[in-house]
Amino acid sequence: MSSGRSLSPLHAHEDISALIETLYQTEKRLEELTDGEVDAVADRDGRTFLLRRAQEELRHSDAARQAAILNALPANIALLDTQGFVISVNEAWRRFAGANMLQSSEYGIGVNYLGICDCARGDGASEAHRAAAGIRAVLAGGAMNFSLEYPCHSPMAQRWFRLTVTPLADDRSHGVVVMHLDVTAEKQSEERYRLLFGSSMDAILLTAPDGRVLAANPSACRMFEWTQDEILQGGRALVIDASDPRLAIAMEERSRTGRFMGELSFVRKDGAKFPGDVSSSVFRDKDGQIRTSMIIRDVSQRKAAEAQIQRHAHLYAALSQCNKAIVHCTTEEKLFLQVCRAAVQFGGMKMAWVGLVDSEILMVRPAASFGDDMGYLKDLNISVDAESPFGRGPTGTAFRENRPYWCQDYLNDPVTVPWRERGARAGLAASASLPLHRNGIVVGVFTLYSGVTDCFDESARDLLLDMATDISFALDNFARESERKRAAAEIQFKATILKTQQETSLDAMLLVGENGQIISYNQQFIDLWRLSPHLVSAHLDAAVLQSVAEQVENSEAFVARVQYLNRRRDDKSREAKKGREHV
């Protein structure tokens, strides 16, 4: 064959046949010379020739390796040529076809996969048509790959698969790899998560590292009072209290360890802040993107219940201290100070004071206080006169109407307007004004202040009423003790006068009680009747009376007269000096 002339098709065919024969004989002769033990030979110029037997073995080896790799994969895999015909399947494909009664002599090899998809009808037809379109797109070079998830349920179980299509070679001229991966477990997990996400009583947020919120469940919308679109638009900053000093610590811990559990402060749509228990973790989604989950439980009610229990415990302690003060205090002034101190130090109140009413000007004057660090009581004007602008507040009303006044929101209650500014400076949020009684008459008011609104629930009110009742009981005791001391002083004063009269009188005097006992006597009586001092000092009443009777002319008449005078104390006798119990 010469390069200088053109060959006819007939001559070219003859030359090709001759060349093939030459190659065949050459390869046969090389096999004979090497005894079949050499796979390749080289000439003196280094050009290598691979023998046919070695080529076939290499092809078989490559095919075996490829089949081993495909058979090791759990997915159902088929290789399609450029026309969509199945040219090879792996062992997982064969098992799936056998288990689902899809057997054929070659498990679908040689079948046009695209044609099967195009002809699909009924359930799953739309997914089959989409799969055919995706395979054609990859074969034509219009797409680098294609993926589709679809259901494939059997009478015994529900299943889902993910179809992926990739080129068999970079140039796409060799066909495509079709892989069906069983994603049932993944779908069931997603379904469980979806149900949990939708039905959870806790708020769940899926967020990105940059603070974007990717999803918010219905409980989150109810908790924060925003719609899901509003939460997604506003991001994490919309619902988390940025002023919470614990936030930076929580973010650092989650960044370092991948998770965080603790309490943070959150914000509702109206700006109200509330505490929440948070469980947050970092994970990667199915696309490999870093995501974070936040599960939030509103613990404001639990916190309120805990605070309520703590307030009750504090008030119980204050009541106990109040009772101790009642036992040990000897004056009203000391008692008032001690109960105010107990209310603050043990009862958890911000301030407490006792005010007594000046009846002349109808103004309430502080008698004792504790916790007034901001000078709330300084120059305080509180009246009990209903006509006065300062007489319609909690303290004046409690005194005037003789009832407790519970002000649950001190800074917003209309009756506290005259004192609202000083109340705000002192941090007062609620107050309780309790009338104090002495012998059933209102004499003052015990007023307590809290830094928490709506803190005086029924149990707290009962405890404070007990405290006010105990204080009033103590005031009754102080009044009775004061009256007792006054009466005792008066008796002592009268006794002193009587003693003076007896000692200075020229008459003989003996005071005998209604039971015949000797109350007192003077020296003139002893001298007149010549009595033994020991007899009189021994208060032997009958003996003294007998001794005197013996010294009169008619003793029986004398004794009868004494007995008569004891019975008729308003009567007189010329033998008796005017008096109630003497002769």
Angle at 91 between CA 90 and CA 95, to 5 degrees: 125
Helix, strand and coil percent figures for the chain, each rounded to 5: 45, 20, 35
Residue 295, pLDDT > 50, answer yes
pLDDT in tens, 356-383: 999 889 999 999 999 999 999 999 999 9
33 touches 51 (CB < 8 A)? no
Q: Among 22-31, 62-71, 514-523, which stretch is predicted with the lowest mean pLDDT?
A: 62-71
pLDDT in tens, 380-421: 999 999 999 999 999 999 999 999 999 999 999 999 999 999
Return the CATH number of 200-298, one of 3.30.450.20, 3.20.20.70, 3.30.2350.10, 3.30.70.420. Answer: 3.30.450.20
CA distances from 489 to 284, 333, 422, 480 (A): 92, 22, 47, 14
Return the CATH number of 73-187, one of 3.10.28.10, 1.25.40.10, 3.40.710.10, 3.30.450.20. Answer: 3.30.450.20
Q: Please give the Cα distance from 448 to 459 (Å, whole number).
A: 16
Q: Given this model, what pLDDT does residue 174 score?
A: 79
Which residue would you say has higher pLDDT here, 184 or 299? 299
Residue count (the chain):
583
Nearest by Cα to 530 from 552, 497, 511, 504: 552
Which residue would you say has higher pLDDT here, 313 or 45? 313
pLDDT in tens, 75-112: 888 889 999 998 888 888 887 765 554 445 555 788 89
pLDDT band at 545 (very low <50, low <70, confident <90, very high): confident
Q: Given this model, what pLDDT does residue 102 score?
A: 46
Give the DSSP letter string of 315-326.
HHHHHHHHHHHH
Run of H or E residues at 15: helix 9-34
Q: What is the CATH number of domain 305-482?
A: 3.30.450.40
Average pLDDT over residues 5-31: 64
Q: Given this model, what pLDDT does residue 370 score?
A: 96
Q: What are the φ/ψ torsions at residue 98 (nearest 5 degrees)?
A: -70, -40
Q: Given this model, what pLDDT does residue 56 score?
A: 61
Q: Given this model, what pLDDT does residue 267 score?
A: 97
**Residue intervals in the chain for CATH 3.30.450.20:** 73-187, 200-298
**Residue intervals in the chain for CATH 3.30.450.40:** 305-482
Angle (deg, nearest 10), helices 332-345 and 458-504: 160
Average pLDDT over residues 454-465: 93
Beta strands in 359-486 (DSSP E): 363-370, 405-407, 430-438, 441-450
Q: Given this model, what pLDDT does residue 55 score?
A: 59
